[in-house]
């Protein structure tokens, strides 16, 4: 293998694939490597940890086809710290020579044949195609509610619920749940029937990180894997085994109290009052029957206490001292796209809901804290 590549292109490619690197255990040290495969006028960079694999194609001037695997960390450092834009790479005797105008290094590699074969999905004909910017926007609205759970591994990711004309994304960590719905005017698909799959949280985070906004993503699945592909970039991942919980039964349908509040005012109030919250990040909400203001209160035995009043329109009955984790509350508010939000409550032991006054494609459910 012999080629010339621009530093900018190579650095971008390595950044795209670096998070799929394996732990390099004694049994499979090659998982710490990146596979470089030169052919035509391109280099394909590949990494995998056997659960997740990423391939990125980079333009280059290929003098001689070939391939090698080398330690990604070392190679990435050389590329990042090079002060030359033009980089020459050549493989001889399983060593990669890295050369610029004023620098040369030789990296010990491993034959490309020893690198794990990247899996392929069996179903190559059916797909969902969606603008990356839109898909990432909706993923971002739910991903904060996801958390890896050893006790309940089936919820350790994001549910993708395809219903032909709707694409629902949902995530929960048992204390909160977020759901976002994408209608079919934003995507196209030739799947003939619906399906539900759970995408691992790390995979979702990588999709959000590496796919550029100005491209379309094609999504393909088979029973055990999911593929995300765009121009020059592919990510393939195993799916989470087990059925995602049927959460419809916990979605509140009516409320003792509904508050209509300016979102930015509520966000600002929570940030201010949270400075006096306790170890469990708790703040209290109160609304008297004869009031026109929501009171947000927190106290700390070592710091003191504070409260904040913001205007709100109330429907229903007032309430006292309903506690929430303020960080979780902010997560739900920040991903709600409207000037005003509806905050529905049912006392201190049943789920509350946050939703937009103008956009029914998203809601966020949060359990109060029992203090």
Indicate whether 24 pLDDT > 70: no
Q: What is the pLDDT of residues 324-346, one digit of tens each?
A: 999 999 999 999 999 999 999 99
Query: For residue 152, what pLDDT is reported?
Result: 93
Overall domain count for the chain: 3
Query: For residue 370, what pLDDT is reported?
Result: 86
In angstroms, the CA 133 to CA 141 distance is: 13
Contact 218, 229 (CB under 8 A): yes
The answer on 266 and 243 residing in a single domain is no
Query: For residue 26, what pLDDT is reported?
Result: 59
Phi, psi of 352 (to 5 degrees): -105, 165
Please report whether residue 120 resides in a domain. Answer: no
Query: For residue 157, what pLDDT is reported?
Result: 97
Angstrom CA distances, 28 to 21, 50, 274, stand at 12, 10, 47
The answer on 255 and 241 residing in a single domain is no
The answer on 232 and 328 residing in a single domain is no
Query: For residue 124, what pLDDT is reported?
Result: 78
Q: What is the pLDDT of residues 149-199, one digit of tens each?
A: 999 999 999 999 999 999 999 999 999 999 999 999 999 999 999 999 999
Q: What does the pLDDT average to over 292-314?
A: 95
Angstrom CA distances, 27 to 46, 104, 370, stand at 19, 31, 47
The answer on 256 and 239 residing in a single domain is no
Q: What is the pLDDT of residues 33-46, one digit of tens each?
A: 999 999 999 999 99
Indicate whether 25 pLDDT > 70: no
The answer on 141 and 93 residing in a single domain is no
The answer on 220 and 145 residing in a single domain is yes
Q: What does the pLDDT average to over 249-273?
A: 95
The last residue of one of the domains, among 114, 146, 169, is 114
Indicate whether 290 pLDDT > 80: yes
Report the percent of the chain where pLDDT is more than 90: 93
Q: What is the pLDDT of residues 85-97, one digit of tens each?
A: 999 999 999 999 9
Please report whether residue 164 resides in a domain. Answer: yes
Please report whether residue 229 resides in a domain. Answer: yes
pTM of the model: 0.94
The last residue of one of the domains, among 220, 247, 274, is 247
Confidence of residue 22 (pLDDT cuts 50, 70, 90): confident
Query: For residue 99, what pLDDT is reported?
Result: 97
Would you say the C-alpha torsion 42, 237, 201, 18 has a positive or negative sign? negative
Please report whether residue 122 resides in a domain. Answer: no
Please report whether residue 123 resides in a domain. Answer: no
Query: For residue 28, what pLDDT is reported?
Result: 86
The last residue of one of the domains, among 199, 221, 247, is 247
The answer on 339 and 235 residing in a single domain is no
The answer on 139 and 51 residing in a single domain is no
The answer on 256 and 198 residing in a single domain is no
Query: For residue 301, what pLDDT is reported?
Result: 87
The answer on 206 and 156 residing in a single domain is yes
CATH number of the domain that residue 233 is part of: 3.10.150.10
Average pLDDT, the chain: 95
Contacts made by residues 149-154, CB under 8 angstroms, sequence distance 24+: 149/173, 149/174, 153/240, 153/241, 153/242, 154/198, 154/240, 154/241, 154/242, 154/243, 154/244, 154/245
The answer on 255 and 243 residing in a single domain is no
The tokens describing 299, both together, are 């106290």
Q: What does the pLDDT average to over 211-216?
A: 96
Q: What does the pLDDT average to over 259-283?
A: 95
Please report whether residue 51 resides in a domain. Answer: yes
Please report whether residue 355 resides in a domain. Answer: yes
Which domain, by its residues, includes 53?
2-114
Least Cα distance to 332 among 207, 158, 180, 202 occurs for 180
Indicate whether 371 pLDDT > 70: no
- Burial code of 112-136, b = ≥16 C-beta within 10 A, e = fewer? beebbeebebeeeebbbbbebeebb
Please report whether residue 174 resides in a domain. Answer: yes
The answer on 95 and 151 residing in a single domain is no
């Amino acid at each position: 293998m012999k080629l010339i590549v621009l530093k900018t292109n190579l650095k971008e490619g390595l950044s795209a694939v670096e998070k799929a690197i394996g732990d390099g255990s004694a049994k499979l040290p090659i998982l710490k490597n990146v596979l470089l495969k030169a052919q035509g006028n391109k280099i394909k960079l590949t990494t995998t940890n056997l659960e997740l694999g990423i391939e990125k194609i980079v333009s280059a001037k290929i003098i001689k086809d070939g391939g090698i695997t080398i330690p990604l960390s070392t190679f990435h450092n050389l590329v990042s710290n090079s002060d030359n834009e033009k980089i020459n790479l050549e493989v001889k005797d399983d060593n990669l020579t890295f050369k610029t105008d004023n620098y040369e290094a030789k990296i010990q590699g491993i034959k490309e044949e020893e690198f794990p074969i990247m899996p392929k999905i069996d179903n190559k004909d059916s797909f969902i195609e969606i603008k990356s910017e839109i898909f990432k926007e909706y993923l971002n609205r739910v991903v904060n509610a996801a958390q890896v759970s050893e006790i309940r591994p089936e919820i350790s990711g994001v549910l993708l619920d395809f219903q032909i004309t709707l694409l629902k994304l949902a995530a929960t960590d048992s204390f909160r749940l977020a759901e976002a719905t994408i209608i079919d005017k934003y995507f196209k698909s030739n799947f003939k029937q619906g399906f539900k799959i759970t995408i691992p949280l790390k995979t979702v985070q990588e999709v959000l990180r590496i796919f550029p906004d100005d491209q379309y993503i094609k999504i393909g699945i088979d029973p055990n894997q999911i593929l995300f592909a765009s121009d020059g970039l592919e990510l393939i991942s195993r799916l989470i085994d087990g059925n995602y919980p049927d959460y419809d039964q916990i979605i509140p349908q009516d409320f003792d109290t509904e508050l209509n509040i300016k979102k930015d005012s509520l966000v600002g109030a929570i940030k201010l009052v949270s400075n006096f919250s306790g170890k469990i990040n708790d703040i209290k909400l109160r609304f008297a029957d004869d009031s026109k203001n929501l009171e947000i209160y927190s106290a700390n035995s070592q710091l003191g206490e504070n409260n904040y009043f913001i205007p709100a329109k109330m429907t229903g009955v007032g309430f006292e001292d309903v506690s929430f984790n303020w960080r979780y509350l902010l997560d739900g508010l920040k991903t709600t796209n409207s000037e005003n939000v509806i905050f529905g409550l049912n006392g201190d032991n049943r789920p509350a809901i946050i939703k937009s006054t103008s956009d029914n494609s998203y809601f966020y459910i949060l359990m109060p804290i029992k203090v």
